[in-house]
Amino acid sequence: MNEFKHAREEYESTPIPEELDGRVRAGIRQGKMGGRAKRHGFRWGIGVAAACMVMVGGLNVSPTFAAAASNVPVLGGLFQVLTIRDYATVENGIDYEVSVPGVESEGDLAEKVNAEIQKRVDAHLAKAQADWDDYKEAFLATGGTEEEWADREMNVLIDYEIKSQTDTTVSFVVDFAEGWVASMQQRYCYNLDLANDKDITLADVLGEDWVSICNDAVNAKIAADESGLFFTAEQGGFTTVDDTTSFYLNEDGSVTLVFPEYSIAAGAAGIVEIPVEA
């Protein structure tokens, strides 16, 4: 039995407090993000911020949380994408809404991906708490009162979306975001070939000319844009894709490039996604 299966069984055997359901439902009602993002197809509008976290072992935001595990149907018996934890709660002014993905498969790739997700969750959770603590300290230091502070709230969410899947591959994204007086969103893409136990690369999909193909797509998008939000090369904007450029695969096999906030455009543009036609 691999480590992921063992961790899942240990998690599923953890008793859930009797008072959990009521507190979780209360937390959901108190959420102010305009509704829960959907696990396999959420959309956040411009300006919506949420801090997302993902983890594959024992994530504990607080002693009170809701937990659930549900399987996406096995594809060809080769792998599963699991929702290994799903909860909503409010703790100390932070409104958490979380769906946690994990991959179960033979080989090293699934364990590598799950460990990477957990590491990102740990770092992101720590940053969200630190941001909230720093904000409170500054708020009180500049004349705010504890009573006024009680009206403030941070939203922290995580969700994921499976973009495409076959009987041997899967492409999904995991979003981290944080919403309060400031906003931040991050998106991480995972493109997995479970049959060969390796990551899928842009070269695998687009061939040896992948750099030129992607650059043409991005430059065409920038040239056609009328928003004025894209940075010029002199401003530190787009120059070229490389092996670190994020992307996901669509159901038709096409590629969508994903650029972080502020990397090639102003913050108002958010995360920039650009489709590529081979």
- Tell me the β-bridge partners of 91: 94
What domains, with CATH codes, occur in the chain? Answer: 3-199 (3.30.565.40), 202-276 (3.90.640.20)
Is the Cα torsion angle 166, 109, 197, 256 positive or negative in sign? positive
| Encoded amino acid at 170, one letter | V
* DSSP tag of 76: T
**Contact of 53 with 176, CB cutoff 8 Å:** yes
User: Which of 27-41, 122-136, 173-187 shows the lowest per-residue confidence on average (mean pLDDT)?
Assistant: 27-41
DSSP-based three-state secondary structure for 273: strand
Q: What mean pLDDT do residues 15-42 have?
A: 39
Dist CA 173 CA 158 (whole Å): 11
pLDDT at 47: 33
pLDDT at 77: 59
Digit-coded pLDDT (tens) for 48-85: 333 333 333 333 333 333 334 344 444 445 789 988 77
Dist CA 157 CA 96 (whole Å): 6
Q: What mean pLDDT do residues 8-35 have?
A: 40
Nearest to 236 by CA among 220, 260, 214: 260
- Kindly report the pTM of this predicted structure: 0.75
* 272 pLDDT more than 50: yes
Measured CA to CA in angstroms, residue 227 lies from 43, 47, 90, 261, 265 at distances of 21, 16, 38, 16, 10
Measured CA to CA in angstroms, residue 31 lies from 50, 138, 241 at distances of 12, 24, 38
* DSSP tag of 226: -
Q: Is 262 exposed, middle or buried (0-12, 13-18, 19+ CB in 10 A)?
A: middle
* 257 pLDDT more than 80: yes
